[in-house]
């Protein structure tokens, strides 16, 4: 189904992004992904999936806080691949960049909030614009923004991220409305709290994990691999009449 096609995903070296890289490669899809700092980690993943699945893989450094540099990354992509079929906007920021954006409402600051917007909404826009130019040449494609249910359910300290996930889901709908005529579908995949390094970095990680397990009818945390199936579906012909939607995968935690 995906043999000979190409996926480009931002943030492919760990967590959800890494799980998606492996899932698509296992289906015979060539994979390009970005990384923030560790070229060694990226190269280890490339060597592993190329040897396991016989596909072509490349990685490019990208500072998600400088979305315009996506254009330079895509120029490198063009040297390595002759087509683009799927784009997934996945990379996020953490650490010092989100100071003032991650915390209680009364401690929120414009700079931290703006950084999250740049990395979430601006980066999706530029990444998807560049992807669409290339997808149009092959008759269409599928674009996905990863999102989270933090825009649906109150999550402590998550106002900055949750608000920007709501914004990127709105942007997905606008992109879908305008790119459909090019044969390009645009959707979002919204995950509940997923047990990744990013979540473990939260100061209240254990509290969040306990609450998720308590609220989920399935009585467990989400794993990165739990989101790969929806991404595969949205990039397949099985979802050929589906665009402008947000698929929620949350272990049932948002309706309780």
214: in domain: yes
**Regions in the chain scoring below 50 on pLDDT:** none
Cβ contacts of 174 within 8 Å, gap of 6 or more? none
Write out the residue range of the structural domain in which residue 49 sits.
6-249
Query: What's the whole-model pTM score?
Result: 0.96
DSSP secondary structure string, 2-56? -TT-EEEESS-SSHHHHHHHHHHHHTT-EEEEEESS-HHHHHHHHHHHHHHH---
Answer whether 32's CB lies under 8 Å from 60's CB.
yes
Give the span between the Cα atoms of 247 and 256, in whole angstroms. 18
217: in domain: yes
Number of domains in the chain: 1
**Given 56, 74, 158, 174, the catalytic residue:** 158
Q: In the structure encoding, which two tokens stand for residue 37, read together?
A: 């700092």
**CATH number, domain containing residue 110:** 3.40.50.720
Q: Exposed, middle or buried: residue 55 (CB in 10 Å: 0-12, 13-18, 19+)?
A: buried
191: in domain: yes
Active site residue 74: no
Give the span between the Cα atoms of 135 and 191, in whole angstroms. 26
42: in domain: yes
222: in domain: yes
pLDDT of residue 256: 66
Active site residue 158: yes
24: in domain: yes
72: in domain: yes
82: in domain: yes
Which helix (H) or strand (E) segment is 111 a member of? Answer: helix 110-117
């Amino acid at each position: 189904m995906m043999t000979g096609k190409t996926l480009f995903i931002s943030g492919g070296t760990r967590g959800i992004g890494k799980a998606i890289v492996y899932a698509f490669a296992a289906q015979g899809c060539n994979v390009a992904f970005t990384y923030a700092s560790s070229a060694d980690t990226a190269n280890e993943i490339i060597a592993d999936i190329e040897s396991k699945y016989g596909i072509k893989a490349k990685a490019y450094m990208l500072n998600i806080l400088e979305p315009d540099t996506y254009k330079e990354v895509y120029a490198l992509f063009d040297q390595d691949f002759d087509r683009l079929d799927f784009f997934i906007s996945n990379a996020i920021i953490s650490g010092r960049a989100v100071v003032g954006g991650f915390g209680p409402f009364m401690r929120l600051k414009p700079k931290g909030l703006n950084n999250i917007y740049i990395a979430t909404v601006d980066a999706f826009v530029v990444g998807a614009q560049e992807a669409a130019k290339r997808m149009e040449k092959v008759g269409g494609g599928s674009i996905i923004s990863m999102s989270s249910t933090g825009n649906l359910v109150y999550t402590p300290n998550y106002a900055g991220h949750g608000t920007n996930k709501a914004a990127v889901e709105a942007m997905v709908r606008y992109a879908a409305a305008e790119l459909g005529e090019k044969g390009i579908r645009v959707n979002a995949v919204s995950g509940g709290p997923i047990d990744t390094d990013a979540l473990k970095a939260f100061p209240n990680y254990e509290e969040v994990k306990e609450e998720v397990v308590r609220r989920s009818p399935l009585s467990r945390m989400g794993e990165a691999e739990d989101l790969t199936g929806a991404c595969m579906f949205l990039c397949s012909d099985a979802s050929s009449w589906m665009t402008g939607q947000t698929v929620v995968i949350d272990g049932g935690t948002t309706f309780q």
